[in-house]
Structure 1
């Protein structure tokens, strides 16, 4: 019986951090967010609100790409944070009753906005500057080493494991995920998509350099128009893994979000939580992951060790 190790990673927040949008926010509102922690909290609030809106739409049968949720929700988060737009001369525009940079009371401000971004009190240029950073997110600590070395090291991976398949499963768009992985791992790294991704990963096992395989399979929720953590997403990922008769597949799901891991465990994955976003696992809510580590390379080493027993 052949044995295959499959490690699926959440992408946004887990494999790539939000340093870039934080830096963009500071460059726009620098005098209002001099504290680095405040800038981080505002961006994290935007990120989590976008996830909430994305999931809410999905479970109510009105799926929209998460990028649309991020874009539409950004002015709201900036207003909630009390940020104020400055005019061309650098003067602060007032924010009356949280009406925003329009200087109008909230009820009048709302009546003059369209909901499509054109009526944003901060202007399209602010939204675009922050949104554009999503395609340049930086890899998390240990991510590159985990994907290119630790999982591919024949001396570390147990001999009974014939192949290692690495995946990214994202609420974000497929082109964005592909761009981020290429930026982090290099253009020489194969990216596999679609229902045949697992077959392409199988073909990558050849010669002495890639006995355990290479490349990354990428799945986006946009493909099925269902948002994580809907159970159907994890079921679809398992379908993509394509477990064959007489094949022993060890499935892992890696994330920095415990809600994601909770759903993955329900679907049959072993789970690995990386601590650098949530910091506290809140086990009374979501239980305890199988592995906990400080970064993605540490996660990789622990999964390899776990499966070598």
Structure 2
């Protein structure tokens, strides 16, 4: 039986709610400093991913929601706003953090998951976000995902892209399915670094362009599937998996 593990935030769950929230709350003030709200959001998220990964690597794991809140004013400062408290305060930050809980699925996700399940795939989730928050995103989007198939790095005390996270996930699936066939286990993400780490651990990988647009194969390497949109991703994974299975049988 084939399995596929998905990154959640950024891949399956989009950022539109947060982009709108930032624009609504502090967008006009950001623009007064020649700072585009979308660019600020990307800087905030990228800085969070970096600090999350670095802290994990040095054995000082911190949850993403804590990091996001802690680095908010620093990110404003790095965006060229020398007095961040002049455009945002703690009340603004608390409101924005609450908006993080309202994210919803990207277009095509329900259809992709149904297509994969209809073709025999078991779907898993591997996320840097805390489990309850991710479950809330699924609830917001009316998506069904078994609790036992949602794995948060919080439960491991180490975050992506540390190799042991992907190795844990791969071994968990092999143990649960009673199979040691790597060609039956896929990893799907919109982050090229995520796919790179998963591929090195032994997953077949599928990258989708809904977030980064460019795969940058020259630094991250090539994936088994590259797709434009989630629906195409599911279709290509099923098609490619069938070819791999036929060849190996």
The alignment's TM-score, normalised by the length of structure 1, stands at 0.72
Residue matched to 2:135: 178
CA distance in 1 between partners of 2:180 and 2:78 (Å): 52
Runs of 4+ in 1 over 6 A off after TM superposition: none
Match of 1:165 among 92, 111, 122: 122
Shift of 1:73: 0.8
Superposed CA RMSD in Å reads: 2.1
**Cα distance in 1, alignment partners of residues 4 and 75 from structure 2:** 34
Shift of 1:242: 3.1
Measure the CA separation in 1 of the matches of 2:91 and 2:18: 14
Could you say which residue in structure 2 is the equivalent of 1:191?
146
- In structure 2, C-alpha distance between the alignment counterparts of 1:239 and 1:307, rounded to whole Å: 20
Give the aligned partner of residue 85 of structure 2.
101
Q: 1:228, 1:260 within 8 Å by CA — same for their partners in 2? A: yes
Structure 2 Cα separation of the partners of residues 28 and 184 of structure 1: 24
State the match for 2:7 in structure 1: 10
**Is the CA contact 1:26–1:34 (under 8 Å) kept in the aligned structure 2?**
no
Query: 2 CA distance for matches of 1:227 and 1:146?
Result: 26
Pick one of 294, 297, 300 that aligns with 2:228.
294
Q: CA deviation at 1:190?
A: 4.5
Does residue 265 (structure 1) correspond to residue 199 (structure 2)? The answer is yes
Alpha-carbon distance in 1 for matches of 2:173, 2:142: 22
Q: Distance in 2 between matches of 1:246 and 1:13?
A: 30
Does 2:116 align with 1:126? no
Q: Who wins on radius of gyration, i.e. which is larger?
A: 1
Question: Equivalent residue for 2:26?
Answer: 29
Q: 1:139 to 1:245 in 2, by over 3 A?
A: closer
Give the corresponding residue for 1:255: 189
Q: Give the deviation of 1:279 after TM superposition.
A: 1.4
Are 1:277 and 2:232 matched, yes or no? Answer: no
Q: Does 1:305 align with 2:239?
A: yes
Q: Distance in 1 between matches of 2:164 and 2:200?
A: 11
**1:11-47, CA deviations, whole angstroms, 9 ceiling, x for partnerless residues?**
1101111111111111122323569x92211101101
Work out the CA distance in 2 between the residues paired with 1:74 and 1:241.
Answer: 37
Give the TM-score of the pair, scaled to structure 2.
Answer: 0.89
> Could you tell me whether the CA contact under 8 Å between 1:21 and 1:131 is conserved in 2?
no
Give structure 2 stretches of 5+ with no counterpart: 244-249
Name the one with the larger helix percent: 2
Tell me the equivalent position of 1:69.
Answer: 67
d(CA) in 1 for partners of 2:106, 2:214:
18
Match of 1:40 in 2: 38
2:47 maps to 1:58: no
For 1:128 and 1:101, the matched residues in 2 are separated by 14
Q: How many residues align?
A: 239
